Amino acid sequence: MSQTSQASGNPLLDFTDLPRFGEIRPEHVTPALDVLIADAEAAVERASADITPASWADVVESLEHATEPLSRAWGVVGHLNAVADTPELRAVYGENLPRVTEFWSSVGQNLKLYEKYKTIAASPAFGDLTVERKKILSNSLRDFRLSGAELPEDQKPRFAELQERQAALSKAFSDHVLDATNTYAYIATDKAQLAGLPEDAVEAAREAAERDGKSGWKFSLHFPSYFPVMQYAEDRALREAMYRAYVTRASELGPQYGNGKTDWDNTSVLAEQLQLRAEEAHMLGYNNFAEVSLAPKMAESPAQVIAFLDDLAVRARPHAEKDWNELRQFAATELRLAELQPWDIAFAAERLRQQRYAFSENEVKQYFPEDTVLKGLFKVIETLFGVRIRKDEAALWHPDVRFFRVENQDGTLVAQFYLDLYAREGKRGGAWMDDARARHRTARGTMQTPVAYLTCNFSAPVGGKPACFTHDEVITLFHETGHGLHHMLTQVEELGVSGISGVEWDAVELPSQFMENFCWEWDVLSDMTSHVDTAKPLPRDLFDKMLAAKNFQSGLGTLRQIVFSMFDMKLHTDFDASGNLNANDLARAINERYHVIPQAAFSRWPNTFSHIFAGGYAAGYYSYKWAEVLSADAYAAFEEAAKASNGSVLDVPTGIRYRREILEVGGSRPAMESFKAFRGREPNIDALLRHNGMVPSGDAAH
């Protein structure tokens, strides 16, 4: 009997169904990990023992079944740390992070285990394995090499130290960003400062101040509070104060919050991360960390990525220059802003949008109440992929969280997902999908259905009205749901390549960015809008204005993403983190070369670039643009089907083919093979350029 079964009173050790969120406490974490790590270590010892046959069942399968409970339990703890942070949970997470990291490092460096995998791959039995199992073996052999299994024994302790220290630094980076975001508050006491702000933003600020026992209006650096100020507030001093606080978070220039706290500065944290990554790369025989990062990705080399970004920058720059010149001229003539400062840009852009297209984002927002949006999203999924989505019951970590089930038409369960939509203190910013558990066939022979977390940071309901989402937030919801569908609709039964597992990181954004396209279709939006006050659907003329404005400043937006991507790639190729220049110096140099908008001298945005310092995208941020080529081209198949039939982009045969060739296969084959199986050819960039309004006029008919 395993230790796991002997300690089932601990909710983190109960794997019979969904996590028991209502019962999990910080004091459960360490005892659960004591058991789970011991069980996993025993399994590793058995699998790597000389007497254990080098077979799939005795090595790979037994190891997966023994380590999956550890992954699931630690995933629950990590999830709670991201969405329900408390000092106690943060402390116990930090205490146990080195233990978990050390275990996985030891597995990756286990030479005996590595030899077992190599023996299986070289044996006659390899030919009888399924495609999925062959892919798992191939991925595992690569991962063993990247984990240092082939290093001399005297170097392995140092390599393990690198992994543990990097995990600790990643957590510290994330904690600093969250603390700096949570702690800052701007309290407005003069109602005149609120001029221009939408009513729901004002009401949310009043309620926030009231919760703190203060009079006036409280604005925070959480995006639903921060961005309406930047976009609508006529008070330029308010915009400047908020902007400066936002772009100096977690830096030496960040507000001191009146208590002298300075240990949230991420400058040294990210510098040490870069140094350790470079050391890791050199130990493994690579020139730089970018080469390590790209080893399991579609892109073949840093040079290929840089060339891709350079090419896109050249295509986007004329459009960006036109966008910027128009904005500056508008600001000077219409807003009397002779010099456009960084805290003026979002404000001026929104005013220009309103003048040019005769609508505001806030006007559109009133047509997207939460329940109507979800109904429309679910209709798209149900129509295209032949499933049904229903409300379901589960223990939750916060009252605002909702839970749903995905069913086949006959009612059989396909998957389930948690939906956590609103920003709040103690919740990490941004939006993401994560897996609570993956689809696979268990040791008992039963099929474990997948469960996903879909997490966003939208505005919560205020003033007794339902939550309403901006169109950008609707797009974000569709994006994260696309990731969720990739995880939930897989038909693969092997853990290592089920859902998003085993998918190349620069292809993992294909299903997410693909879903965004439906947010620009009239026959989709007409079914997912209902004005929060009048219940009337989105008027067609307002949609036409939105469509006309779709690529408003898309050139500037593209260059902004290229700056992020190029900064990330250069940071991990030829940048010396121990030299005279720091990461912020590099960021300014990259911005000066690639962007048309100057960067504020005091900006410290790298200090909050959690994607690459705390989110797994190191030397991988380019993936968003790389995968956008794939996703735009994939969506073009739906556009072509609609044109051919003079019907809707919700084309069922194309949707079923997309589900079969992209979503269901997960990571069981290379992403390029999946794309070609769906599209019938390799991808090209034409659809991406067209969707972004960057097709040269001479090419418009193609």
User: Catalytic positions, please?
Assistant: 480
Strand 451-458 and strand 413-422: pairing?
parallel
Residue type, 666: G
Find tokens 């109904």 and name the residue.
375
- In DSSP notation, 534-602 reads T-PPPPHHHHHHHHHTTTTTHHHHHHHHHHHHHHHHHHTTT--TTSSS-HHHHHHHHHHHH-SSPPPTT
Residue type, 433: M
Do 482 and 515 meet the contact criterion of CB atoms below 8 Å apart? Answer: yes
CA distances to 122, 690, 700, 701 from 697, in Å: 55, 11, 5, 9
d(CA 595, CA 561): 10
Do 417 and 453 meet the contact criterion of CB atoms below 8 Å apart? Answer: yes
Structure tokens that stand for 236 in this block? 């330029």
Do 529 and 320 meet the contact criterion of CB atoms below 8 Å apart? Answer: no
**What's CA 561's distance to the chain center, in Å?**
15
Do 321 and 596 meet the contact criterion of CB atoms below 8 Å apart? Answer: yes
Structure tokens that stand for 122 in this block? 């070289």
Give the sign of the dihedral formed by CA 76, CA 144, CA 150, CA 578. Answer: negative
Backbone angles phi, psi at 314, to 5 degrees: -60, -40
CA distances to 237, 312, 370, 577 from 560, in Å: 25, 12, 30, 23
- In degrees, rounded to 5, the angle at the alpha carbon of residue 469 between the alpha carbons of residues 465 and 474 is 150
**What's CA 56's distance to the chain center, in Å?**
33
Find tokens 């260059």 and name the residue.
559
Contacts of 75 (CB under 8 A, 6+ apart): 434, 435, 436
What SS3 class is residue 648?
coil
Of 677, 649, 650, nearest in space to 663 by CA: 677
> Per DSSP, which regions of 426-545 are E strands?
432-437, 440-441, 447-448, 451-458
Beta bridge partners of 390: 405
